[in-house]
Amino acid sequence: MEITEVRVRLASSANNRLKAFCSMTIDNEFVVRDIKVIEREGKYLVAMPSRKMTDRCGKCGGKNHLRAKFCNACGNRLRDNRARKNGKGRAALHADIAHPINGKCRHRIQESVLAAFEQELKKSRQPGYRPPRPDELDDDVPEVIR
């Protein structure tokens, strides 16, 4: 696997932990979007794309996020603590959409994404910097697929 391109869009809020959204192209053939760069304890971390976990209302069967207190469809009060716990005893509220299978792959992804992020940070400090628009990050994707 070769990471052939990483595109970075810096987050707009300066005091937020979320620093950037990235897309990564693998072997000039496969794209992973919504990779996040997050600042934690003075270090930058790469978070792979994920989705919110949901369950169904016992009354109407409507889908709801695990933190929801009431059903979005019928308004029924939902039970508390519906989320399964992970190995650390914390509620598992998100599931990965794409992720590396081993540490070697994670390390390669982290290095590539953080290097591209650092380059974009340097560019952003230059006079006349213009951040990429979200649609510019997708300009290599054919209209039929979008």
pLDDT for the residue numbered 142: 46
Sheet arrangement for strand 30-40: 3-10, 18-26, 30-40, 43-47
Q: Name, in order, each residue with C-beta under 8 angstroms of 62's C-beta and a sequence gap of 6 or more.
A: 56, 71, 72, 73, 74
pLDDT for the residue numbered 132: 78
Domain ranges of the chain: 3-49+97-138, 52-96
Its CATH architecture, for the domain 3-49+97-138, is 2-Layer Sandwich (3.30)
pLDDT for the residue numbered 144: 46
Extract the tokens encoding 70: 């009431």
pLDDT for the residue numbered 13: 73
| pTM of the model as a whole | 0.74
Q: pLDDT tens per residue, the chain (146 residues)?
A: 899 999 999 998 767 899 999 999 999 999 999 999 999 999 999 999 999 999 999 999 999 999 999 999 999 999 988 888 878 888 888 888 999 999 999 999 999 999 999 999 999 999 988 887 766 555 554 444 44
Give per-residue burial for 34-68: e unless 16+ CB within 10 Å, then b. Answer: ebbbeeeeeebebbbbeeebeeebeeeebebebeb
